[in-house]
Amino acid sequence: MFGYFIRRLLLLIPVFLVMSAVVFAIVHLVPGDPIDNMLQIGSSPERRAELTAKFGLDRPLVVQYGVWLDRVFHGDLGDAIILKQPVVSLILANLPHSLALGGLALAFSASVGIAIGALATFFRDSWFDRSVMTIILMGATVPNFWLGLLMILVFAVELGWFPVSGARSADALVLPVLTVGLGGVALIARVTRAAMLETARQDFVFMLHAKGLSKRQIYLGHVLRHALLPVVTILGLKIGWVVGGAVTIEYVFARPGLGSLLISALNQRDYPIIQGCLLMLGIAVMLGTLVGDLAQAAMDPRIRDGMR
Amino acid sequence: MSLLAVDDLSVSIGMVPLLDRVSFSLDRGEVLGLVGESGSGKSLTAMTLMGLLPLIGGRITAGRVRFDGIDLTTLPEPAYRDLRGQRIALISQNPMTSLDPILTVGAQIDQASRLHAGLSAAAARARSLDLMHQLRIPEAVAIHGQYPHQLSGGMKQRIVIAMALAGDPDLIIADEPTTALDVTIQAQIIQILCDLVAERGLALLLITHDMGVVAQACHRVSVLYAGRGAETGPVHDIFARPRHPYTKALIGCIPREGQAPGTLVGIPGMVPTAFAYPKGCRYHPRCTAAAPDCRTEVPAGSIQGVGGSIVFCHHPLEVGHV
């Protein structure tokens, strides 16, 4: 397990380099220029050149990347061009909101999704299986910004149970968590069910029946355990989503968070913030994948022994 | 009365009849070989005896199965579950896929003891190690903590046998226990099973397609062909005087010492599928002695000779005709 851990960790280095280079380069492919936004109409070309030089935007891209990467390793993501604050402090101010929303949404999707998937498999082809899986399919196809608006309309405006927007109190989290989490519930439930049905067809499950175990013992003690292997991988990938994937939902509920920060920075072409946010998301996805892989290795001895 | 008595058992999956009036019986301390080619219904018989037909959508359409006085055909599932593993155990065809790949093999043997004997975790482990010693598994303590993929096929099959023994069953059904193993391991596993029968007085239903294994291990043999019985009787009698042409052909397939290269024989043709069973005797299209009545009339069983062999053939081979 330790050797596997080290191998997986070393693999992150090239992944990080490629990811950071893409993050750095991608904003330069976006049309628009922050200097244009800063200049007053009718400013002289000299003023423009002066500002470009001040922010180092006149240097070759490779040099800009090197300088940027060096700063990143020193915990400096630069200063926001429009907001004129250190990007690190902007990210740190917004990150807890995103973590709370994403983390709770992930926990909600995992627990409810696995439970529904397992129950649907156990009562396969019953009315429960059919109706729940149909509802879930519908839930998965509804765009979540629309679901968010619907939630606001019903539970906040009509019923008045929760705040419409903002992040001033804990109950303001309920509707965004449900909105983000429901899509995850649908995905996890479907993956759990499919994986359990596939496992249930294997020879060793037949042998467990022959051994005299009850269906419940077989499904909960063995089949679900196997089904969790793909589920854990998906949950690992979704950790990236914990950090900033809920971009549109933060916008719909007017919540602070990395998603909101990223969207406003994109509108203003505020390169350092965009880079900083994308880098955070990239790192989150990398770490999420790592956590998913390690969890799989902890659960499956064949992965630890390099058989898969 | 026999420990296991199967009388005129018929089984269908969906609308397709697969077993047709199969009968055999088995006693404690006895090894019965159930022989036939692939598709003859051997494994289906094992599933039926384990009460696991519903898993594959099958059901018993006629006949009776009595085990130690219990009618298995009408036994409700909860009562059947108490038999499974505890009184009737299964050793499956493929040890490579019969074990849960993400649990240690030890935990899987322990599980059977805990389930059937109600043992504590520590007692179950001690019992598993004891069983592993009896099955001549070296370094049992180390192997107890290993995962299936870390063991060889022969070792895995011993683990499966240990698992079957953990419930201290009266009847073991071994469904082609050596098919997936190296030839060198096959004899060892068969020997282990025969020793268990002798030492523990349990009954063994040995399902195989290998007449060589039957000759080596079984007391009695029941030959199946295309879902029907062909011939049943004591091994020495059947090998010395096969009366069904199919049995004779099967025996002829065993390679013999000193046999000239290139003279190994098979049986021409194939076992028909359940959708295309021929009328009359199902073996007639491949039979060298088929007569007109074989094509139309289903042969009934007749008792032949002093050994009490039962033969399902219109024209059984003459005694001494080997």
Provide the shortest C-alpha distance from residue B76 to chain A (in Å): 13
Instruction: Give the residue among A217, A204, A235, A213 at the shortest CA–CA distance from A299.
Output: A235
**Of the listed ranges A135-149, A154-168, B185-199, B232-246, the one predicted with least confidence:** A154-168
Q: Is B317 within 8 Å of B301 (Cβ atoms)? A: no
**For residues B256 and B212, what is the distance between their CA atoms, to the nearest angstrom?**
10
What pairing do the DSSP bridges indicate for beta strands B228-234 and B203-208?
A: unpaired
Report residue B80's pLDDT band, with 50, 70 and 90 as the boundaries.
Answer: very high
pLDDT digits (tens, 9 = 90+) for B86-126: 999 999 888 888 999 999 999 999 999 999 888 899 999 99
Provide the shortest C-alpha distance from residue A65 to chain B (in Å): 46
Percent with pLDDT over 90 in chain A = 19
A204 vs B99: CB contact, 8 Å cut-off? Answer: yes
Check residue B265 and give its pLDDT: 75
Domains, chain B, with CATH or none: 4-87+169-312 (3.40.50.300)
Check residue A183 and give its pLDDT: 84
Specify the CATH number of the domain A97-269: 1.10.3720.10
- pLDDT of A258 above 70: yes
Chain A residue with the nearest C-alpha to that of B48: A210
DSSP string computed for B65-111: EEETTEEGGG--HHHHHHHBTTTEEEE-S-HHHHS-TTS-HHHHHHH
Task: Answer yes or no: pTM beyond 0.90.
Answer: no
- Residues contacting residue A253 through CB under 8 Å, at least 6 positions apart: A148, A152, A165, A166, A172, A175, A176, A179
Measure Cα distances from B176 to B38, B186, B187, B189, B263 in Å. 11, 10, 13, 11, 26
Check residue B122 and give its pLDDT: 93
The token duo for B75 is 């036994």
ipTM: 0.88
DSSP string computed for chain A: -HHHHHHHHHHHHHHHHHHHHHHHHHHHHSS--HHHHHSPTT--HHHHHHHHHHTTTTS-HHHHHHHHHHHHHTT---B-TTT-SBHHHHHHHHHHHHHHHHHHHHHHHHHHHHHHHHHHHHTTTSHHHHHHHHHHHHHHHS-HHHHHHHHIIIIIIIS--S-SS-SSSGGGGHHHHHHHHHHHHHHHHHHHHHHHHHHHTSHHHHHHHHHT--HHHHIIIIIHHHHHHHHHHHHHHHHHHHHHTTHHHHHHTT--SHHHHHHHHHHHT-HHHHHHHHHHHHHHHHHHHHHHHHHHHHH-HHHHTT--
Question: What is the pLDDT averaged over residues B222-227?
Answer: 92
Per the model's pLDDT, the better-predicted residue between A33 and A304 turns out to be A304
- pLDDT of B321 above 50: no
pLDDT digits (tens, 9 = 90+) for A183-212: 889 889 999 999 999 999 888 999 999 999
| Cα torsion angle, B187, B190, B196, B199, sign | negative
In which region does residue A204 sit, left (phi positive, over 0), alpha (psi from -120 to 50) or beta (all else)? alpha
Report residue B322's pLDDT band, with 50, 70 and 90 as the boundaries.
Answer: very low
Provide the shortest C-alpha distance from residue A304 to chain B (in Å): 11
- pLDDT of B305 above 80: no
Measure Cα distances from A230 to A65, A114, A218, A227, B142 in Å. 37, 11, 19, 6, 30
Question: A225: which chain B residues are within 8 Å (Cβ-Cβ)?
Answer: 102
Q: Is B108 within 8 Å of A307 (Cβ atoms)? A: no
Question: What is the pLDDT averaged over residues B176-197?
Answer: 87
A211 vs B163: CB contact, 8 Å cut-off? Answer: yes
Report residue B203's pLDDT band, with 50, 70 and 90 as the boundaries.
Answer: very high
Quick check: B180 contacting A, CB < 8 Å? no
**For residues B146 and B121, what is the distance between their CA atoms, to the nearest angstrom?**
17
Question: What is the pLDDT averaged over residues B285-301?
Answer: 87
Question: B86: which chain A residues are within 8 Å (Cβ-Cβ)?
Answer: 212
Q: Is A184 within 8 Å of A83 (Cβ atoms)? A: no
Question: B55: which chain A residues are within 8 Å (Cβ-Cβ)?
Answer: 206, 209
Indicate the residue of B89, B115, B147 with minimum beta-carbon distance to A213: B115
pLDDT digits (tens, 9 = 90+) for B124-172: 999 999 999 988 898 999 999 999 999 998 899 999 999 999 988 999 9
Measure Cα distances from A123 to A16, A117, A200, A224 in Å. 44, 10, 13, 14
pLDDT digits (tens, 9 = 90+) for A220-230: 989 999 999 99
Check residue B169 and give its pLDDT: 93
- pLDDT of A161 above 80: yes
pLDDT digits (tens, 9 = 90+) for B36-57: 888 888 889 999 999 999 888 8
Check residue A118 and give its pLDDT: 93
Check residue B197 and give its pLDDT: 93
Instruction: Give the residue among A75, A87, A97, A116 at the shortest CA–CA distance from A242.
Output: A97
Question: B48: which chain A residues are within 8 Å (Cβ-Cβ)?
Answer: none
**For residues B283 and B271, what is the distance between their CA atoms, to the nearest angstrom?**
8
3-state secondary structure B130-178: HHHHHCCCCCHHHHHCCCHHHCCHHHHHHHHHHHHHHCCCCEEEEECCC
Q: Give the residue carrying structure tokens 């983000």.
A: A180
Average pLDDT, chain A: 85
Indicate the residue of A203, A214, A222 with minimum beta-carbon distance to B92: A203
Check residue B35 and give its pLDDT: 93
